[in-house]
Amino acid sequence: MTVGSKRKLYILESQGKSSGFFYGMKTMAEANLLFDYTGHLPECPTWSDAEQALYWADIMECEIHRYVPATGDHQILQFPEEVGCFALREKGGFIVALRSAIWLADSRGLLQHKICDNPSNPQLARFNDGGTDRDGRFYAGTFWGPGDYNGALLVRVDNQLRPKVIQCDIHGANGLAFSEDKGWMYTSDTPNGVIYRTPLDADGEPGAREVFRLFQDGEGIPDGAAIDEEGCYWSAMFDGWRVARFSPTGEQLAEYRLPVRCPTMVCFGGADMRTLFITTTRENMSADEVAQYPLSGAIFTLHVEVAGMKKLPFIER
């Protein structure tokens, strides 16, 4: 795709069950460039329905951003360490997973209360993807840095601020999402190219995870994700030039081609929850690649036909 067509997404829909990459052009849709952002690693897009504003983190810049599409107002909150992920709090402010610990912060980004330290070695594994479940509990996974080793973990913070490690044997935690009926938790392990789903009991405790989708070379690797009202899982395919939509059984239903190589995460928002917000990155790109694809790192939007599930705030009791 040329730079001249950089504001278009190409929607390709598979004919039957898909296991590969391209399956024939079906239609073409306009993608809107929401914000021509040139930071390092934008992640964790989070829509505030009350504020009609989009939040996102730039992990390596140690920032949380707030952007109001209707006015163009853009604010940046600075933190002392890398911001792996966060959620808005019902009481106002944030719960935020920094490199070394999970904290409560106020609306100005000032740290108020440390919930727990990073249970991984923070020198080797920073916090990465996370979010809330359907009961307003917060989850944050770590990303193991050196080598090919599954040393990362997934931590849950309950509504009483009690932390618990609920999964391990992960290289890079990503793709957290929950089914509307609270029966399933979805996660991805980005370096290992796999999406898992894990059954949850009535108390939200996880059972044994199972493979939801395993990806082949050339498809990209699954990064951040969201769930729509039909129970379908939307995954940002890092290094894959696309966002893919999967049925509750793991069948690829559609893919949305992007003018940038590395989308990082998606979330639903807008007045009717039919706007898909897409964060992307220019991390590890050469100067020549950035010159060829200058919107790498930008925030895109796409109007979709199926409404997404709202992200709940973190609820403290």
Given the structure tokens 């973990």, which residue do they identify? 153
User: Has 217 been annotated as catalytic?
Assistant: no
For residue 211, what are the β-bridge partners?
196
Catalytic pick among 58, 129, 223, 228: 223
Task: Give the dihedral of Cα atoms 154, 160, 161, 162; nearest 10 deg.
Answer: -50
Is 257 known as a binding-site position? no
Is 134 known as a binding-site position? no
Q: Under the phi-then-psi rule, with left for phi > 0, alpha for psi from -120 to 50, and beta for the rest, what region is 220? A: left
What is the Cα–Cα distance from 196 to 207, expressed in whole angstroms?
12
Q: Which of 50, 312, 49 is nearest to 204 (CA)?
A: 312
Give me the sign of the Cα torsion angle 243, 184, 269, 88.
negative
Is 223 known as a binding-site position? yes
What is the Cα–Cα distance from 281 to 272, expressed in whole angstroms?
27
* Helix boundaries (H) for 201-251: none
* Token pair for 154: 């997934």
Question: Residues 6 or more apart from 287 whose CB is under 8 A from it?
Answer: none
Strands 25-30 and 42-48: unpaired
| First vs last C-alpha separation in the chain | 50
Is 174 known as a binding-site position? yes
Residue ranges of the binding site for substrate? 126, 128
Residue ranges of the binding site for a divalent metal cation? 43, 174, 223
Q: Which residues are catalytic?
A: 223
Residue ranges of the binding site? 43, 126, 128, 174, 223
